[in-house]
Amino acid sequence: MTDWTAFAAITGVVLALLLALARLSTSTSTPTASDAAADIDAEATSDVDPGGRRADGTRRPTSDAAGSESAAQRESARNPPPDPAVGVGARAVPTEDAYAPADLPPGALLLNVLLSQGLFATLLVFAAWWTRLPATALGLDPAVSPRLLAAGVGLGVALWVGNYLAGRLGERAGVDAAEGFRAALAPDSAREWALLLFAVLPLVALFEEFLFRAALVGALSAGFPVSPWLLAVGSSVAFALGHGAQGRVGMAVTGVLGFALAAGFVLTGSLAVVVVAHYLVNALEFVVHERPSAGEG
């Protein structure tokens, strides 16, 4: 007999852990250039009294040279010199992004995502097996028809196009989405591209669709008297909160994409459709925006 309550509880724990990690990552920010400039200004004035004298009784220099030096320091803080450790072909991670793990190479970040997502996915699969969840409640069908696969491809391409056009409109309106995390994951070699496209992104799509669509929408609507459309709204909000590293604009766009994927799941009843669509959205995002230019090799 299916234990719907136990599965719902385990799903809630996985979701809470995922959102907590997302919250923790967005609260860990790197110092910005404006912070550095503020520190220089604070150091320049902390030992000067309102009368212009320092703590040791001497008067603060007022020469043009001193003023020029202070201005140069502030300008240097606002526009720091390039890091010599960063190669010409490397992509800078904007410090305005709350989650910009620039101290780790893309390969290490990709492996980190692979392991963390794999751990959560394994926990959910075990929960579904342990509670004897029917495969149909999760949208699983061993015989996926070509029509459903084509529907997934069409949905994924349509969502990416909509996301791309929304991004262009946002740029024209002066609204920029935080893209530092995507840039940090951008591969630097053919091996990393293979790891991203054939391991990391498929696992991310599979896990997130299993959690946010199959579990939170399919299983809960099958086991409890709740409308799947109401669950689709709730799961989309959670989906947006889980992508806090993309900034507020990115979270809003992600929430809309999440609801579109949830709608696709409800209408087709197939997990494969939304997994394929989710993978294509992510893969196209990297290939189009982060592919190396001809000069980068």
**How confident is residue 9, by pLDDT bands cut at 50, 70 and 90?**
very high
Domain ranges of the chain: 4-17+105-137+147-290
Query: What confidence score (pLDDT) does residue 283 get?
Result: 96
Secondary structure tally for the chain: helices H, strands E: 12, 0
How much of the chain exceeds pLDDT 70, in percent?
Answer: 69
Supply the pTM of this predicted model.
0.73
Backbone angles phi, psi at 182, to 5 degrees: -65, -40
DSSP 124-143: HHHHHHHTT--GGGGT--SS
- For residue 89, the number of C-alpha atoms closer than 13 Å in the C-beta half-sphere is 13
Q: Among all chains, which residue has been given the structure tokens 């946010």? A: 212
**The predicted structure's pLDDT at residue 57:** 54
Evaluate whether 109 touches 184 at the Cβ level (below 8 Å).
Answer: yes
Q: What is the pLDDT of residues 115-140, one digit of tens each?
A: 989 999 999 999 999 999 999 999 99
Residues in CB range of 15: below 8 A, 6 or more apart: 211, 216, 238
